[in-house]
A and B are shown apart, each in its own frame.
Chain A
Amino acid sequence: MNGIITDIFRTSIVDGPGIRTTVFLKGCQLRCIWCHNPETQSMKIEKDYGRLIDSETIVAECVKDRIYYDETDGGVTLSGGEPLMQPDFALEILKRLKELGIHTTLDTTGVAKISIYKKALKVTDLFLFDYKVTDSKSHFSLTGSRKEPIMDTFNFLISNNAKIILRCPMIPGVNDEVEHLTTISEMEFKYPSLVEINILPYHTMGNAKYEKLGRPVDPSLPKENIPNKLKEYYLSFFKIRGNKKVILKD
């Protein structure tokens, strides 16, 4: 089965446990203003980004690093974009990997249909689930998508005992209000089955891609990477509240 991807990146250490191969699928319904993978938003093949590829070719590429997965409890992560924008393609890759005994992770926005997640549950060992904005209105204006269906997906996955790492992009002055931080903190206790909560501090590395795509970077975004002071503040915020599962990533 064919699909469109931007990249297969091997030896990723930021997309789940161990050493992983991350496949970036093209297409995303959301339009987060801070998106650091803007080249994956459109489903189309663009000048510098995107190629048509067979799922078997992807699987063959992933298998090459099996020895590294085995040694580090790693595996393969499907990311994007929203991988489930190409549901059959994504599910086919996950299924084939599972058959081969390779650990699978799905990095998802939660925006696809529940019926698709139902299928995904069978072939996914771990979900990286985005939690972006607490206030519903802001959620819509910052991501271009409603929050409620996303939370429905989250609840569906939780009630089906999915293993989930919650991933929270943190953009100073944009979504890091106290209310949002407090909600994240409370989620650890409300959903004891959560594996981890990752705080992902904003960085400007994606800016170059905007330039290449000829698109402006949103002016409300910070001009610099998050300063260490602010990272420390986030950390202490969660520490005071007794959070054990919150981890600040680089």
Chain B
Amino acid sequence: MATKREIDMLGLDYALKFTAAYQQGSKQNKYIRETLCEDLQFPAVLVSPRTTDILCGKRMYPEVGYSPQYGGMGYYFDATSWEGENAVVNYTSDELLEWNSLKKFWETEATAVKCFNSFSYEIKNRLWDKYDGGNVLRHPAYPLYRMAGLQMDYKKLIDNGIIGLELEINQLIEKAKDDEAKMFYTSAIKSVKRIRTCISHYILDAEKLPATEKKRKMVAALSGLLDHAPKTFHEGIQLILLVQTITGTINFGRMDIVLGNLLVNDLDNNVMTWEEGIEIMQNFYTILEEEIWHFDARIIVGGLGRTNVAAADKFAMLAMETTDSLSLPMPQVSLRFYEGQNPELLEKAYDVIGNGKTFPMLYNDDVNVSAVEKAFHVDRQTAEQYLPFGCGEYMIDKQSCGTPNVIINLQRCLELAMNNGRCLRFNDQRSPDYGNIETYTNIEQLWSAYENTVNYFLEAGAKGQESIYKITGQECPFSLISVLYDDCLAAGRSIFDGGIKYLGGTCETYGNNNTADSLTAIDELIFKASKYSGAELLTALKANWEDFDSIHKSFKDAPKFGNDNDIADAMQARVHEQVCLGTTTAAKETSLHHWLVVIINNNHNTLWGKETSASADGRKNGEPLAPGNSASAGADKSGLSALLNSQAKPDPTIHAGAVHNVKLSANFPKKNRNLYHSLFRSYFKKGGTQTMVTVTSRADLEAALETPEKYANLLVRVGGFSARFIDLDKPTQMEILSRTEH
């Protein structure tokens, strides 16, 4: 897990200085302000290496700081830790006064606050509360504030090194087209020099470690980087880790393309053995596991659009072998593959998954590349550079920003559409009154109310996303990120101020399949069979199905997504299409290049389940929503192929990624290796886009609840991330247990 922010990480003094730098910079311009603040952050926030390390690159996010996402978006001030019950440090009343005045200052100056304040009354009304990290999720849709879906051009970084980047920017300064460009370049060159400062800082830090072979290698790699573009694998990965740490961008993209050549060169020339390569990677993985939230740290290997295929494959094997050698929920290694790719990669992937490592996740390029081409409106060559980011949202490598900045709960929308825009549990108005199920006489009337409700929130979401980008562009140049993003230097503009090539985004949808199953059940039982009335259903739902056993059973037994059932799957396709097209349509009136649905999942399906009333698919209030594009818990009863067939159906060309969880019993891959490979091969042939597999047994999960200490290595896929089962909270553990084991 990530570094915990604790009070007094860098102290009141630091917070005061940072704030003063911000204030001073604000009097001039955003570039100078960023430089002043970043010069304070670095190297101050860097964390020293340990004796066991061979790489350095760790940082803190103190109470006040600057980053694209971690800590808070842009300039942030986070007082949650020192307001809590467990104050770590006792401040004097004077000091507390100072903290409080800082807090007051940042209450209007933090970038996220400025974003929210920029929303029109209409957006604020529809997206209602400010998102509080998921503690309270009463509303059907929320804006999020983060610029996390950023994948920088590490190839450019490695090929040019610090020196090369400095050279490029220095030449540009001379010919800057206007003042804005000049200010940006000046800030950019300083951001690159800051990498040098950090390296020098780390060399001094490393010198303090006891003399070991690891330390010698560490210092050598760091020193090399001051002098030249990376010449060895060790230098390359060190530079990437460091720049990632400084920028706070937390994902790694196509590392096989970036590091493959250095790896092969080292192996061929006996600079490094395979085992030494594994050792470096293990240290890299361990650092990521300690540093980065488990939704992130993606490493992508394989796939179309690589020019150095053989060398890249070598790195892919190294990455997967490292995953296999450890039992960590991080990093999220993902394998892209296509017909004709070196089969060893996929074979290796199946073996590692079969060993219960939950990685790599598999992405089928034969389907995904053309899907991305259509969804993102880009040419094929560009589409080949798609990346599953974080929990699974696609973005275009170094050309777009993928982060979802809106989340929406479709099942809540259906709830409102059935009940005059009012919540079933508290009867509070959350959307316009489009009607009530008691008066609908056919499914189309319900559908139209549902569609209106969803669109009501989507429209605000698209405008919200546009507004967030606009304010971020005004406030935060993110100069170093801009240096490593296509088009920014050429345009003389920072990333969100006209620099980025495709300024688009994504919208996270939840409860898609509960919604579809609910609509199916309603259509079958109320409108087609007239077995129950809309009023009866509403009463049962309001009672959370308590004392309505027979009607509950009927709705539970109605056809469900995940069984290759034509009726249920057709409704699922309709729900899918509506929200995907509704999302793109909502963005038509904005300047966004694309705005697309992602059907991913962190643990919001569990969190939102608590706030979502009982639903017509048989779910009770409190029970989780179906994760991503998976079947609802236990609803997939017809066998694995039926689930996979259902999952392969939704149109992949209208969204930016969907995750599919599959839980396999440990016996399947172990004892039936070939069948298991063939099964997935067939699924992908059928058009499956992606899969992520947890290999475990119910017995193990239950035992881990009893004696967690014995199951530290038990990894499970939650939704868009992996975790040690024993680290999850109880509701999430129960949600995993409730999934069908195939």
Interfacial residues, chain A to chain B (CB-CB below 8 A): 8-13, 18-19, 21, 61, 64-65, 67-68, 70-72, 250
Known: A11-B742, A13-B675. A71 touches B682 (CB 8 A): yes
Compute how far the CA of A8 lies from the CA of B641 in the bound complex, rounded to whole angstroms: 12
Please give 19 more A-B residue pairs, beta carbons under 8 A apart, in addition to A10-B638, A11-B641.
A10-B639, A10-B640, A10-B642, A11-B639, A11-B742, A12-B639, A19-B678, A19-B679, A65-B645, A68-B679, A68-B682, A71-B679, A71-B681, A71-B682, A72-B674, A72-B675, A72-B678, A72-B679, A250-B667
Instruction: Tell me how far the C-beta of A110 lies from the nearest C-beta in chain B, rounded to whole angstroms.
Output: 27
Compute how far the CA of A21 lies from the CA of B638 in the bound complex, rounded to whole angstroms: 9
Whether B638 lies near A19 (C-beta < 8 A) is no
Which listed residue, B564, B638, B668, B685, touches A67 by the CB 8 Å rule?
B685
Known: A19-B641, A67-B685. A10 touches B678 (CB 8 A): no
Whether A10 lies near B641 (C-beta < 8 A) is yes
Which B residues from 655 to 698 make CB contacts under 8 A with A?
A: 667-668, 671-672, 674-675, 678-679, 681-682, 685-686
Compute how far the CA of A64 lies from the CA of B564 in the bound complex, rounded to whole angstroms: 8
Whether B668 lies near A68 (C-beta < 8 A) is no
Can you give 8 A-B contacts (C-beta < 8 A)?
Answer: A11-B640, A13-B675, A19-B679, A64-B641, A64-B645, A67-B685, A72-B675, A72-B679
Provide the residues of chain B in CB contact with A18, threshold 8 Å: 675
Which interface residue of B641, B672, B681, B685 has the most chain A CB atoms within 10 A?
A: B641
Kindly report which residue of chain A lies nearest to residue B672, judged by CB atoms. Answer: A13
Which listed residue, B642, B668, B682, B686, touches A13 by the CB 8 Å rule?
B668
Compute how far the CA of A9 lies from the CA of B637 in the bound complex, rounded to whole angstroms: 8
Whether A9 lies near B667 (C-beta < 8 A) is no
Whether A11 lies near B671 (C-beta < 8 A) is no
Compute how far the CA of A250 lies from the CA of B666 in the bound complex, rounded to whole angstroms: 12
Whether B686 lies near A8 (C-beta < 8 A) is no
Instruction: Tell me how far the C-beta of B666 lies from the nearest C-beta in chain A, rounded to whole angstroms.
Output: 11
Compute how far the CA of A18 lies from the CA of B216 in the bound complex, rounded to whole angstroms: 55
Instruction: Tell me how far the C-beta of A48 lies from the nearest C-beta in chain B, rounded to whole angstroms.
Output: 10
Provide the residues of chain B in CB contact with A72, threshold 8 Å: 674-675, 678-679, 682
Provide the residues of chain A in CB contact with B672, threshold 8 Å: 13
Whether B679 lies near A11 (C-beta < 8 A) is yes
Provide the residues of chain B in CB contact with A68, threshold 8 Å: 641, 678-679, 682
Provide the residues of chain B in CB contact with A8, threshold 8 Å: 638
Provide the residues of chain A in CB contact with B675, threshold 8 Å: 13, 18-19, 72
Which interface residue of A8, A13, A21, A70 has the most chain B CB atoms within 10 A?
A: A13
Whether B686 lies near A67 (C-beta < 8 A) is yes
Compute how far the CA of A21 lies from the CA of B682 in the bound complex, rounded to whole angstroms: 15
Instruction: Tell me how far the C-beta of B565 lies from the nearest C-beta in chain A, rounded to whole angstroms.
Output: 9
Kindly report which residue of chain B lies nearest to residue A64, judged by CB atoms. Answer: B564
Interface string of B272-313 (1 = CB under 8 A from A): 000000000000000000000000000000000000000000
Compute how far the CA of A8 lies from the CA of B679 in the bound complex, rounded to whole angstroms: 18
Provide the residues of chain B in CB contact with A10, threshold 8 Å: 564, 638-642
Which listed residue, B641, B667, B671, B742, touches A65 by the CB 8 Å rule?
B641
Compute how far the CA of A216 lies from the CA of B63 in the bound complex, rounded to whole angstroms: 64
Provide the residues of chain B in CB contact with A64, threshold 8 Å: 564, 641-642, 645
Which interface residue of A8, A19, A70, A250 has the most chain B CB atoms within 10 A?
A: A19
Compute how far the CA of A11 lies from the CA of B641 in the bound complex, rounded to whole angstroms: 6
Which listed residue, A9, A67, A250, touches B682 by the CB 8 Å rule?
A67
Compute how far the CA of A13 lies from the CA of B742 in the bound complex, rounded to whole angstroms: 11
Instruction: Tell me how far the C-beta of B124 lies from the nearest C-beta in chain A, rounded to whole angstroms.
Output: 48
Which listed residue, A21, A70, A71, touches B639 by the CB 8 Å rule?
A21
Provide the residues of chain B in CB contact with A21, threshold 8 Å: 639, 641
Provide the residues of chain B in CB contact with A9, threshold 8 Å: 638-639
Compute how far the CA of A8 lies from the CA of B640 in the bound complex, rounded to whole angstroms: 12
Provide the residues of chain A in CB contact with B641, threshold 8 Å: 10-11, 19, 21, 64-65, 68
Provide the residues of chain B in CB contact with A250, threshold 8 Å: 667, 671
Compute how far the CA of A202 lies from the CA of B478 in the bound complex, rounded to whole angstroms: 65
Compute how far the CA of A9 lies from the CA of B641 in the bound complex, rounded to whole angstroms: 10
Provide the residues of chain B in CB contact with A12, threshold 8 Å: 639
Provide the residues of chain B in CB contact with A70, threshold 8 Å: 682
Compute how far the CA of A70 lies from the CA of B682 in the bound complex, rounded to whole angstroms: 9
Compute how far the CA of A79 lies from the CA of B675 in the bound complex, rounded to whole angstroms: 21
Provide the residues of chain A in CB contact with B668, threshold 8 Å: 13
Which B residues from 322 to 353 make CB contacts under 8 A with A?
A: none
Compute how far the CA of A65 lies from the CA of B742 in the bound complex, rounded to whole angstroms: 16
Compute how far the CA of A65 lies from the CA of B314 in the bound complex, rounded to whole angstroms: 35
Compute how far the CA of A250 lies from the CA of B671 in the bound complex, rounded to whole angstroms: 10
Known: A18-B675, A72-B675. A11 touches B642 (CB 8 A): yes
